[in-house]
Chain A
Amino acid sequence: MDIGLLAQHVMNGLMVGMMYALVAVGFTLFFGVLDVIQFAHGDVLTVGAFTALVTFLGVRAAGVGSGPILLSAMVVVSIFAVAALGMLIARYLVLPLRTAPALNTLLITLMLGTVLRESVRLFYPQGANPKPFPALLPTNSINIGNFNLRLDNTIMLAAGVMVIIGVELLLNRTKLGLAIRAVAQDEETARTMGINFLAIVLVAFAIGSGLAAFAGIMNGFYYNEVNFGMGLYLGVIGFAAAIIGGLGSIYGAILGGFLFAALQTVGTVALPFGSAYKDVFAFAVIIIFMAWRPTGLIQEKISERV
C-alpha cells in the first residue's frame, strides 16, 4: 500500500482514536471515584453535540457572524452545560444506588441513555433526521499523493492532545487531582483525611462529562453531521476502550481508545473478506483479548484484605 494512503489511514485512525480516547477517559474517571460504569456517557456526548449546535444557531440568529466567537460560544456553553448534566446524573442517579449491586447502576444509566437519546429524537425539531453541523474551522488542505491533510483535522487533533494533557496535569499536578486519586485509591481513608467525598465525585463527573461534550463537538466538526444515535455506538466503544486499557487508569483508557480505532481500520483495510466483517473482527479480538488479559492492559490494583 503506498505511503500516502498509509498516512491517510493513520490520520483517520488518530482522529477517531482521539474521540474514543476522550470518551474512554470519562468512563475510567467515573469508575475511579465510584467503581461504577456510567453507561449513559455516550448519549451525554450526543447531548453535548446538540447543545453546541443549538448554541451556534442561537448565537448566529442573534446576529453574530464571526467564526471564532461562534466557535468559542459553542465550546464553552456545551462543555459547561454537559458538565452540569454530569453532576446531576452523579448526584441523583448514581450516588443513590451506591449500596445496590453494580448491575443496577449499569442498568439505570443505560436507561438514562435511552431517555436522553429518545428525548433528542422526539423533542429536537425533526430530531430523527441527521443534522448538518457548521464548519467553523479553516478547511484548507494540502494533498501529498493520496494523503490529504486538512487544517481543521490537524487543529482538532492538537486540541484533543492538549485537552488530554490538561486532564493529565490536573490529575497529577494539582491538589484537586490528588484528592480525586485519593478517593479512587481508598474512599474511607480519603474521607478520614478530610476530603469532601461528594464534592470530589461531582467534580470527577463534571470533568468526565465535559470531555464527552468536547468529543461530541469534535465529532460534529469532523463529520459535519450529528444525529441522535451518534452516542450509542461511541458509548459502547468508549466503554470497551476503557476496559481494554484497564478501568481506573487514564493512560489505559487513552491507549485503549487508539487501539480500538486501529483495530477497526485494520479490520476494514487488511481483512481479505471485505469491510463488512470489521465489527465481527473487532469484537472477536476484544473477547479473545479479555481471555488473555482479564483486567485490561494496565492492570487495575486489586488489594484484597483477607
Chain B
Amino acid sequence: MLPGVVAQALATLYLITLLAVERQLLIIGLLGLAVIAVLGAYWLGWLDPVNRSFADREDVLGVLALVAACAVAAFFHDNHFLLLLIVTVVLYTVATLGLNIQFGYAGVLNFAGASFFGIGAYTSAVLNAHSAVPPLLVLLIGGLIAALVGSLLLLPVLRTRGHYAALVTIAFALLLKAFLEVNDVLGGPQGLQVKGMTIRGWAFNDNIELGNVELSFYMNYLVLSLALLAVAFILVRRLERSWIGLNLDALRLDETAASCFGLNIVRWKITAFTLGNFLIGIAGALFGMVGGFVAPNNYTFADSLILVSILLLGGVGSPWGSVVAAAIVIVVPEKLQTIQEYRFLLYAVMVIAVLLFRPEGLLPRPARNYFPGWRP
C-alpha cells in the first residue's frame, strides 16, 4: 500500500506546484519533467507496485485521494480561478464516469456526452429560476431529465451497432445545439443565467469567512462536487465489480455468445445508457450552477469529443484513469496560456500521440477484481 501513498503524495505536490506557478517557461519545464518522470518510473518498473497497491487497498487510497484534493483546495483556498478549475476537473470526471459505464463497459457509443451534460445544466437553470425545488433535488432531477431525454434515443441506439450508433448520437448532439439556438423558450443563443445554490440559507455564491481567513465561494461547490465524485466513483466501481459489470463486458465483447447464455441484451444496454446519462446529467446540473450561465455554445459536438478523449486518454473502463486524464485535458491547456491560439493544435497532437503509442490509455483497466485484496 505504501507505493500507492507515495505516488499520490508526489502527484499532489506536483499538482500544487503546477497550479501555483505562473511563469510560462517554468510551466513548460514542469510539464516536461512530469513526462520524463513518468516514463522513467515506467522504465524502472516502479509503476507496477503502485498499481498493485491500488488493486489491493483501493478503499484507503481512495480516501487519501479525497484528502489530497482537499489539501490542494486548502492551499489555494482564496484563489477563485484555480478552485473553479479544480471543480471543472472533478465534474468532468463524473461525466466521464457516466460515459465509461456506457462505452467502457457496455460498449454503447455516446458522442453526445456534452449534450446530456447541457440538459442537466439547463434543468438547474430553469428550476432554480422558476421553482423552489431544493438544490440537491434539482441535481437529481437534472440527472433524471438527461436520462429521460436519452431514452428518446434508445430505439435507434439499441438497433444500431458500431459506427451506425455513433451517427445517432452525433446527430443528436448537432440537433440539440441547433434546437436550443433557434428556439427561444430556453433563452435561445443567449442562454440562461443560473442562480447559485442555497442549502438552508447557506448561499454557495458567498465567500466563506473562517475567523480571519476568507475562503473562495467556489470552495462550497468543490466540497459538493468531491462528494458527488466519491459517490459516482463508488457506484461505478461496485457496478464493475458485480454480475452487472460482468454482463456489460459480456455483451460488449460478444453479443451472440452472451445471448446464448441467457443475457438480456436490451435490458442491460438500456441500464447502462440510462445510468450513464443520469450521472452525466447530475454533473451537468451542478456545473451549471457553478458556471452560473448556460448557453447552447457550451454543449457542442466538440465538447462531447473532449469527454470521449478524456475517457480514451485515461484508459477505457478505468475510473482512476478518467480522474488523471480529466486533470491533464483541462489543466494543461489552461496553464499554457502563452500558446494562445495554438492550444487546440497542440492538444490534438497530444491526443494523437497517446492513441498511437499507448492505445490502451494512461492507466489501462486491470482484470476485474470483485473484492480488492480478496484471496480464495
Contact = CB atoms under 8 A, between A and B. Distances in A.
Tell me if chains A and B make direct contact, with any CB pair below 8 A. yes
Interface of A: 31, 37, 93, 96-97, 99-104, 106-108, 110-112, 114-115, 118-119, 122, 236, 239-240, 243, 247, 276-277, 279-280, 283-284, 286-288, 290-291, 294-296, 304, 306
A302 B308 CA distance: 28
5 contacts: A111-B351, A243-B163, A287-B172, A290-B164, A294-B160
A239 B163 CA distance: 10
Contacts of A31: 163
B312 interface: yes
Contacts of A290: 156, 159-160, 164, 167-168, 171
A243 B256 contact: no
Contacts of B160: 290, 294-295
Contact of B352 (A108, A286, A287): A108
Interface string B51-95: 000000000000000000000000000000000000000000000
Q: Which 6 A-B pairs have the closest CB atoms?
A: A114-B348, A291-B156, A283-B175, A294-B159, A276-B182, A100-B359
B166 interface: yes
B228 interface: no
Given A287-B168, A294-B161, A104 B312 contact: yes
B209 interface: no
Nearest to B341: A122
B175 A280 contact: yes
B352 A112 contact: yes
A229 B161 CA distance: 29
A114 B175 contact: no
Given A290-B156, A290-B160, A114 B308 contact: no
Nearest to A289: B156
Contacts of B161: 294
Given A31-B163, A102-B163, A279-B178, 11 more contacts: A100-B355, A103-B109, A106-B163, A107-B308, A111-B348, A112-B348, A114-B344, A114-B347, A279-B175, A287-B156, A295-B164
A101 B316 contact: yes
B116 to A, nearest CB: 15
A37 B164 CA distance: 11
B123 to A, nearest CB: 20
B211 interface: no
B329 to A, nearest CB: 12
Contacts of B164: 243, 247, 290, 294-296
A295 B166 CA distance: 12
Contact of B171 (A119, A122, A286): A286
A59 B161 CA distance: 48
Contacts of A247: 163-164
A240 B359 contact: no
B194 to A, nearest CB: 24
B174 to A, nearest CB: 5
Sorting the interface of chain B by its residue count into under 10, 10 to 19, 20 to 34 or 35 or more gives 35 or more
Interface in B95-133: 103, 109
Contacts of B178: 277, 279-280, 283
B263 interface: no
A236 B301 CA distance: 11
A104 B359 contact: yes
A266 B345 CA distance: 37
B215 to A, nearest CB: 38
A306 B175 contact: no
Given A96-B356, A111-B351, A287-B175, A277 B168 contact: no
B179 interface: yes
Nearest to A123: B345
A286 B312 contact: no
Contact of A103 (B103, B345, B351, B356): B103
A226 B100 CA distance: 39
A106 B301 CA distance: 14
A118 B308 contact: no
A304 B301 CA distance: 33
A239 B167 contact: yes
Contacts of B342: 118, 122
A283 B171 contact: yes
Most chain A beta-carbon neighbours within 10 Å: one of B153, B170, B349: B170
A287 B171 contact: yes
A93 B182 CA distance: 38
B182 A122 contact: no
B376 interface: no
Contacts of A295: 160, 164
A74 to B, nearest CB: 27
Contact of B345 (A101, A118, A294): A118
A265 B348 CA distance: 34
Contact of A115 (B159, B163, B345): B345
A118 B352 contact: no
A69 B49 CA distance: 67
Nearest to B171: A283
Contacts of B210: none
B309 interface: yes
Most chain B beta-carbon neighbours within 10 Å: one of A96, A115, A304: A115
B162 interface: yes
B35 interface: no
Contacts of A96: 356
Given A240-B171, A243-B167, A294-B156, A97 B256 contact: no
Interface in B253-297: 256
A107 B309 contact: yes
A107 B178 CA distance: 23
Given A101-B316, A284-B175, A93 B352 contact: yes
Contacts of B172: 283, 287
Nearest to B350: A111
A100 B361 CA distance: 11
A291 B356 CA distance: 34
Given A243-B167, A283-B171, A291-B159, A111 B345 contact: no
Contacts of A107: 305, 308-309, 312, 351, 355
Nearest to B302: A114
B352 A236 contact: no
